[in-house]
Each structure stands twice: as structure tokens, then as C-alpha cells.
Structure 1
């Protein structure tokens, strides 16, 4: 299978700030020292996202600063039992699902001990006073403020390796799903609220993603880079992950590590999880792409989308690879009222499967067969969950042939999964964690443990009206021609009216003009080797995309043009575009 030119490390190059970024601890220390006040006393605050290696700061950075006073804010943090009491309602007993937290970071600290640290800083007469750790700015705003950041995906890697537990607890060896749950529902929510105002005023951003290979950029340069990114096409950094059902298509097409058994997922546009790479001269900075959403939601999302979703990126593109693999878990997503009432999330995971490639006998499981007795199917699922039998999928579930460029719509409440032999571009709403597995084909996870099944949740949200006739009428290849011109054709491909995402496919052999219409656009080049994204007015530099790459067009861009690159005679290109309906 021929490799593509898929770019696994896309960057945004930021001009004019080449001398405001530094690589390595020595250069970082020199840069920080230049900001020390001429006054007798300077307070340097290094606030951190949870997951930053404080031991690395303590061994590599702090000794070189020659501080007269060092204050670790974590000495004022509540103890483990107090945190558990505070968070019990949000943690729940479930292995996977919690309740979204509305806590403020100050609640995680003992007020008296925090006051004592503030007094310690105030009492320091002269020299450099360094306050560091997650929440350090609660002690002092900082004469010089550094924010140490890293992407959620790197946090997950540290969790998986056993290096990292949750913030404030020694649970490195706890079930990874429970650690991820605590981070997803609580820690990341609390710290995103805390860091947003800090990013708007920080003097420096410290990139701690790579161990012992730090980078730092000035706050001025960081904010200039984020502002530029919010006005031009860009890609986030994809990450690939093996899974028990994973396939071989991405490994072969994207030139991935051949030693891995498979690759199941690729998250190619999930700003909550993905990184954003920005280059300042010779220095590359890796930050959470969510930082862009938090600081520039209106330019990125558009006024209407921002008003509706706040600083959240509501569209997700990812890949599900079962080519040479196995079926996904048979699953269902919660209805809107269920996700609101049970988990505190205000919208649910509606989605769709766009088929990038498929083996000849591939199928998608979608909806229940006409005449299915709900009680009989639920009883069969419970028997399967107890290990008494295999779920009788052929009796209860539609199996629909899947071909390249088919599009299957999956509004919440519809039972579904991709069968083996498919390469799926999944287009969905963002809260991807809310998947209720109903049956996992009797498999163990890669960790050797049974994969969690959520029948208690799932049986309460299945829409039994979505039977064979309804599915074929409403969810399978709802392709509607909308217009055509010289070298292009536009089609509406979905999604269902219950879903807030609209999708369009453009076939083209020459330039096609698009417009964001005031809302963020997310696209993938689903056919063709390479295309060029340009501004008719020259508002941004030409941007190259390759086959299967997902790219984001901020709402602020307005009009843009996509043109095939190379010899396109006799060749059709295609993009799939998604945006939030008005």
C-alpha cells in the first residue's frame, strides 16, 4: 500500500518573534534573569498545569535561579482525604463516568496554609522569591509570571506509564480508566478555568511536554502566535493509539511505527486532547490546542457558535481503523437530557461514519432490526455480559454493507458500531468519552482486563424506533446534490436533523471557493493527493493539505479557495466539510 505524505507534525510558523523563544534550561534561566527587577525583591511565580514534572523544575530550573526564598504551593493543598470528600459526588463509583466539576481551584487548598504562604512571600525582604506548582498564582500574582503547560495527551501517556497519578493523590497504580475519569471530569475542568486568565497576562509560557527538553516563549509572542492561528487555516497534531480492535490501514498509509500491533484511533481534530505546534525561529513550542480555544473563541468559532457552546470546540474529526482488525464495541450514545442530568454535560455525542476505505465484505452495524423486542434484546445483552453466551447480533441488529465514500449518520440513541474491514472518518460532536458499550464481542482490553460494558446506562437511552426501515430512510447515504459548476460539484451528506453538525462533500478537479459564513469549518481531504488552501484576498499564506488530513478554517477567515495540486486531468478530488448549523 502506497504511503501518503500525511504530515504527522504540522506547525504554525510565527514570524517576527524569533528572539522571544528559548530552548533548554540554560537559555531559559538566562531569559528569566533578564526580567528580574532592579528593585531589591522580585517575585517569580511558576504556575503549572497538573502533570508538569515538578521534580524536573526542582532539579533543573530552580537551583540555577539562586532564589533567596522557594515556596511550593502544594504545601498548602488539602490532604488526600479532604480532596476525596470534596470530590466524592463528582468522582462517583463508576469506573469510567463521573460528573463534570464546577469547583474553583482555591477549594483544593487549605485557606489558613495558603494565607501563611502569602505572608511568607510578603515578609521576604529582598532577592528572588520563587513560588511554584499548580495554583502558584493563588499565593502571589507574580512580578514575573511563568505558566508551565503540557497537552492532555502527554498527561495520559504519563498516566499509562505509571509515572503520574492524579493531582493531590498517590494513585499511580490505580486503574487507568479511573485516573483518566478524575482528570477528565474534575482536574482539567478546574485548571482550564484557572489558567485562562493567566495565559492572557503571563510573561512566559514554559513548554514541558518533552522530558529534559524544555522550551519557553514570551507571553507576547505566544499571544501573537495564537492570534495569527485564529485567522488562518491550521492543523493540530494528530495522535495515534492502538486498540484491541485496531487495524493496519493507518500504519501503512501514514508510515507509523511498524512495531506496534495495530492502530485503532487517530485523533486528528480534538482540540481538548491534541497539541498545537508553533515555531518561533529555531524553537518549536508545543501547547494544548485548547489554549487557542480558550483565548480566541470568537475568532475561531464565530459569534453564534461561541454564544452557543462557550469556549469549547464542538466538532470532532477522528479515524477508526478496523482494516485487518476487528469490530468496534457495539455501543450507543446518551440522549441530550440523559447526559445533562447524569453527567453535567450540556450536549451529547451525535456522530457519523464517513467511509474512507473498506474491504469488500465490510459492514456497519446500525439500528435494530424491525420487529425487535426490546426486552428480548436487553436480556440477550445481559446474558452476554455475564459470559453465558455471545450476543446474537444477527438477530437484533442491522448489518449494512459499507463502501468507500458511504456516509452513515448516527444520532444519539442509535445502537451502532463499525465492523471489521472499514476505515472510518468519524465526524461527531466533541464529548467523545460518553460511549455506552453494550457488547464487546467477549474481548479483553490490551491491559488484559475486561473492557467495561455500560448496560445500565445504555438500556435507558436506546431509541427503539430506529429500526431497519427508519435507518435506511434517514441514516444511510442521505446524499443530496446542491449545485455544480466548472470542475466542481457540491453535495449535502448529512447530518440528521437531530444533530447540530452540517456536512457537505465537494468533488472538484479545479478551484472551489468556500466561505465560513461566520462559523468554524472543519474539513478533510477524502480524495486526492494534495490540495492548496488559499485566501482570494491574500489574507493568509497558502496552506497545503494532503490526503486524509483534517484541517480547521477559523470563522474569521471568511472566504477561502481549495485547489488541486499536480496533474489533476481525469482525477477527482473531494473534501468533506463540517460546521455547526445556525
Structure 2
């Protein structure tokens, strides 16, 4: 049997995976979409003036939305709720100053709701005006539902939703934060404002609407930076809810996104069939539901893009499992992503905050424990991990501060272990451990989700792609370094921890980590034809790390077989229960390997 080697270009890595809408659902576009929404508002009005509410996630292009509404509904009055009632930018800056801080990267999580961004008196006045208007009205903007609920009138509700990754792309192109006067501000500061303040309030707000929305609109496709070749689609609320509920009961993938970086490599460009004109790709975020998208596809192939977070927020028990949901709430706790340094450079030398520190300093519930699984590696690949024996911590911090000031480069290998790395090695990195991946590595990073909390200690003297030095946080880093994790401890606890769990025929199950201080459990399965799994009541996240193509199937036929390709990350919701992974009919591989992550201590029957 011929072998499909992962060293050859794969080409079949699916960059636009979809989730099916119900068979009878159709994606509406253009005037047809807005007319359907208007008809719903008219039918619901019961003799009153009809009211249509378009509540748009912050970052949506309101001027273009208003233009589309005006063209489609010329007899309706368009009311911009944001212009009418939002607090001025300077008031919002002062209100959230403690959350935004002076730091370029880190803030403190806000617990505000959307009404904190509005003048309550102006909201109330606007509700009275709308309630008394005898013309058909469209309320438009983030928080439009606040006004509509104050009127007491029946209305049709459209959620114009957006994925965070699309918002970031627009901010890089000069878009400001929500009603902020910061179009030229550093993109890291824009992201900080979204992450710590705006998106938190926006997600709380849309959770109140999911059960009531009549239509969901793809706002990713509206705007100057919108994806080309796709009209802004709208889908009925019932179809949206059904598709999401079905997705939480079968294997699926979120839409990966790729980004260049100063240390980025060439592996993904070749193996995953990416744009060869780009200088490099550093990251692939292949399973970060907080920022990724889901593509809902109808029977005609039309697409509506929604945030994959909507699935987490609406179906947390089915997706995560009851015990995982009880532990984390409606938050997806596992992240898979790629770090490509093939023909690139070292990652920054870094450390992640300890749990108590991240809670007390930033308001996060848990921290970014992680690991590096080597999907591929060059002959000279290495991982920096843990301190060398007997180092002088004061001397190391003095050398780091001298490097930060530009006096001299930091000699990382004087203080930090450098372990040789080869394909399929797995290095464990509990929070507090100094670490970095070296050049010529293709890392599958398996980690907990709070992913911006990286304290860089040394960045090899580089600047970012924007020409600005990348942020280094020595004060934060020093407070979180676990100095006792020396060479002996690191070798005994974090390197080469794979242990055989079971062996049956051509199937081998190994436990590769993570460390006992981390809540993620990782199992690796090798097989030639088929291996059986069970979610055991908690969400599973997997990657096909060896082999060309496989199928995820239900032994009871509960879902249709789902095809996955080499290097693809896929999610098996807790509600699936038993499932199997088998070679596909088209596969040419002799053996397959998967890594599977789950939340330790949440499987059925575990204490």
C-alpha cells in the first residue's frame, strides 16, 4: 500500500469548513433579505406602526448597513441608536479607564453591560419618540434592542453579528473601536479595548437575544474590508438556532485563520496550500472559538458567517458537557493553534501568569497553561524550557533589563535549558515555566484558552511587522517565574512524558500529558484502520497529526461520517458520546495518529 507522507504538500486541508443549515432553510441576500425582515415586522405590528430592530455587534459597518436599509426600505425611517443615545467618547474613556489601564497589551476584564455605554435619559426619550411615531421605523445600532424593549411595542429583531477576527482586520486597516476616536491607535491597544471591555459587554447583550432573534445577518460581509465574492447573507432565527443545536451534536470544525509574524515560517504556506506571495505565516488559529467563525451553509451552497462563540454561548451543555460547563461556564476552555517557525526565527522567550496572579491582576478566572506538540521539526529544532541548574536569578533579571534597554543581547542558553525537539515530541508548559520554541519547528500548541496573557521576557531584539518594538513585560514576568523548575524538575515533569495506556492489535493509546498542575488531558492514538473513542461527557478537541485523510463516524449512525485531513483540528461535542475514527476510502496512508485533548476530571465517572 503506498504511503501519503506528511512531508509532501497536502493541499486538501479545508480552509472553509461549513456547518449545514436545515434542509428547508435558505440564505437571503440584498433587498430580499430586508423585505423578509420588514414583512415580519409588519405582521407582528398588529395595527401599529411596524418596528424593525437591527442590533449590530460593535465593529459592524453601520453606514453601509444604513445605506442597504434605505435602498431596500425607502418608506421606512432609519434611526441610528448610537448617534441618538450613546455616551460621548471622552465619557466612555473615563468610565472604563481602570479596565483599559495605561498598558499597551493588558487591561482588566469589565463586567459592564451594554447600557453602560448609553445615556439612560436619551435612551428613554428615544423610546418614547419611537413608540409615538406613526411611520414604519428601523432602529439600527449596537444596543438597538434596549430601546425597542422600552417601547413596549412588538417588533422584528435582526442580529447583525460579527466574528472578532474580522473586527481585528478592520482595525488594522484603520477602523476605530466602537465610537472611539482612535483610528490611528496601535492595533494592540485597539484589541485590548475590544477584549477587556467592548466584546465582553457585547457578548452579554447578544446572549439576551439569541432565543428571540427573527433573523441573523452576516455583518462580516458588509464593509470595506469585507471578504470579496460573498453577499451579506441573512438566515431566519429558527434556522440559525436549529443549525447551532445540530452542530453541538456532531463533529465540526471552525474556520481557521492565518497570520504572519516576525518569526513566521514556511511550513503552513506549503503544506496547507496558503498564499505563496506572503512572506511567511506565523500563526494558524485552528480552534479558538472565541475568535473563529462558523460558516452556515444552505442546500444551494450559500453561506452565512457567524462567530463560533455563538455555539458556545447557546449550546454550552451539549457542546462542553455538563461537568465542564459547571466548571467553566459558557466558555470553551481548550485552544489548538499552530506556531510555524520553519525557516523562521525563535518565538519570544516568555512565561504565562500563575492562576492567582491572573485572577488578581486581570480578572481572568483561569490561566494559560499550555504545551508544544511537534507536528514537524527540522534537524536543529529545539525547545527552550525551564531554568538551568544553579542560575543566579538576579543576574538573569539584570541581563534581561539590559537587553530591554538595548545595551546587549540576552544570552538565553546561559540561563534556560534548550532541549532537542523532533517530530511528535510533546513538551508540557504549566504556567510559570519559562519557555520558547526555537526556529525550524512546526508546533501544534495545545493550551487553555486565555491566550493573550503572554509575558515576553526577551524577543531577540526584534520589532513587530508594524515596525514598533514588540511589548516586553519584565515586571509581570519576574513575578510569575517558577525559579524552582530547574533542569532536573523539567526533565522529570515536562519532557518525554508519553506513557502507554493500552495496546490492542494495531491500535496504541498513549498519555502524553499534560502536567498535573494543568487541567487538560492529552491522549495520542495510533491506528491503521479504526480506533474507538467516547467523549465520556466532556468536549474532545483533536488533530490528525499523522495520515492523509480519516473519517469520524458514529457507531449508531447518530451523525453522518465527517471527513478530516492531515493537520486539521476538529471538535467532537460532549453530546456525541461514542464515536470512532477510521481510515477513509480514499486514504493512502499506512498509519494514522491523532492527539485528543479534554478537560481532566470532567469525564463521566471521574471523581
Which TM bucket (shorter chain)?
over 0.9
2:38 aligned residue: 33
User: Is 1:78–2:87 an aligned residue pair?
Assistant: yes
**TM-score, structure 2 length as denominator?**
0.94
After superposition, the C-alpha distances for 1:388-414 in whole angstroms (9 at most, x for unaligned) are: 000011210100000000000000000
Structure 2 counterpart of 1:189 = 200
Q: Evaluate the alpha carbon distance shift between residue 567 and residue 539 of structure 1 in structure 2; reply closer, same or farther with a 3 A threshold.
A: closer
Aligned partner of 2:605 in structure 1 is none
Q: Determine helix, strand or coil for the equivalent of 1:191.
A: helix
- In structure 1, the partner of 2:191 is 180
TM superposition shift of 1:358: 0.5
Q: Secondary structure at the match of 1:458?
A: helix
Deviation at 1:566, TM superposition (A): 4.6
Contact preservation (8 Å) 1:11, 1:276? yes
Q: Which whole-Å CA distance do the structure 2 matches of 1:183 and 1:120 have between them?
A: 31
Aligned to 1:97: 106
Paired with 2:398 and 2:70, the residues of 1 have a C-alpha distance of: 61
> Paired residue for 2:286?
268
Query: 2:371·2:427 contact (CA, 8 Å) conserved in 1?
Result: yes
| Superposition deviation, residue 487 in structure 1 | 2.1
Unaligned runs of 5+ in 2: 1-7, 224-230, 602-607
1:9 corresponds to which residue? 16
Is the aligned partner of 1:531 residue 2:538?
no
What does residue 367 of structure 1 align with?
386
SS at match of 1:537: coil
SS, match of residue 252 in structure 2? coil
Residues 231-246 of structure 1 aligned to structure 2 (within 5 Å): 231-246=249-264
Mapped contact 2:547–2:566 kept (Cα < 8 A): yes
1:409-438 alpha-carbon deviations (Å, 9 max, x no partner): 000000001000000000000000000000
- For the pair 1:227 / 2:233, whether they are aligned, the reply is no
The residue that corresponds to 1:60 in the other structure is 68
1:287 CA displacement: 0.3
Equivalent residue, structure 1, for 2:126: 117
Secondary structure of 2:181's partner?
Answer: coil
Q: Distance in 2 between matches of 1:370 and 1:527?
A: 36
SS across alignment from 2:66 = helix
Q: 2:505 aligns with which of 473, 477, 486?
A: 486
Structure 1: gaps spanning 5 or more residues:
none
Alignment of 1:297-376 (within 5 A): 297-376=316-395
- Contact 2:10–2:566 at 8 Å: present in 1 too? no
498 and 29 in structure 1: CA distance in 2 versus 1, 3 angstrom threshold: same
| Contact kept? 2:286, 2:337, Cα under 8 Å | yes
> Structure 2: how far apart are the matches of 1:171 and 1:568?
51
Q: Could you give the per-residue CA deviations for residues 480-511 of structure 1, whole angstroms, max 9, x where no partner exists? A: 10101122000000000000000000000021
Q: Cα deviations across residues 172-195 of structure 1 (Å, max 9, x unaligned)? A: 101111111000000000000000
> Alignment partner of 1:457: what SS?
helix
**How far apart, in 2, do the equivalents of 1:135 and 1:54 lie?**
13
Partner of 1:154: 166
State the Cα deviation string for residues 204-243 of structure 1 (Å, max 9, x = none).
0010112362100000000000000000000000000000
Write the deviation string for residues 39-85 of structure 1: whole angstroms up to 9, x where unpaired.
Answer: 24111110010011001111122342134433211120111111011
Residues 516-557 of structure 1 deviation map (CA, whole Å, 9 limit, x = unaligned) = 000000000000000010000000000000000000000000
* CA drift at 1:351: 0.1
Name the counterpart of 1:166.
Answer: 177
Alignment CA distance shift 1:388-1:53 (3 Å): same
> Alpha-carbon deviation of 1:569?
8.4
* Distance in 1 of aligned mates of 2:355 and 2:264: 29
Is 1:107 equivalent to 2:109 in the alignment?
no
Instruction: Give the counterpart of 1:44 among 52, 70, 86.
Output: 52
The offset of 1:33, in angstroms, is 3.1
- The structural deviation recorded for 1:567 is 7.5
Tell me the distance in 1 between the aligned counterparts of 2:579 and 2:315. 20
- Of 136, 151, 156, which residue of structure 1 is paired with 2:144? 136
Match of 2:476 in 1: 457
CA distance in 2, matches of 1:439, 1:274: 29
Rounded Cα–Cα distance in structure 1 between residues aligned with 2:589 and 2:23:
43
Tell me which stretches of 4 or more aligned residues in structure 1 moved more than 4 Å: 566-570
- Cα RMSD of the aligned pairs, angstroms, is 1.2
Q: 1:468 to 1:167 in 2, by over 3 A?
A: same
Q: Give 1:542's match in structure 2, choosing from 537, 542, 561.
A: 561
Question: C-alpha distance in 1, partners of 2:128/2:465?
Answer: 50
| Alignment correspondent of 2:213 | 202
- The Cα offsets for residues 301-360 of structure 1, whole Å up to 9 and x where unpaired, read as 000100010010000000000000000000000000000000000100000000010000
| Partner residue in 2 for 1:495 | 514
1:18 to partner: Cα distance: 2.8
Asked if 1 retains the 8 angstrom alpha-carbon contact of 2:549 and 2:586, the reply is no
| Contact 1:487 1:511 (8 Å CA) reproduced | no
Whether 2:412 is the aligned partner of 1:407: answer: no
CA contact (8 A) 1:69 1:124 kept: no
Decide whether the 8 Å contact of 1:509 with 1:568 is kept in 2.
no
Q: What SS does structure 1 have at the residue aligned with 2:290?
A: coil
SS of aligned partner of 1:383: helix
Matches within 5 A, 1:543-562: 543-562=562-581
1:71–1:117 contact (8 Å) kept in structure 2: no
SS at match of 1:139: helix
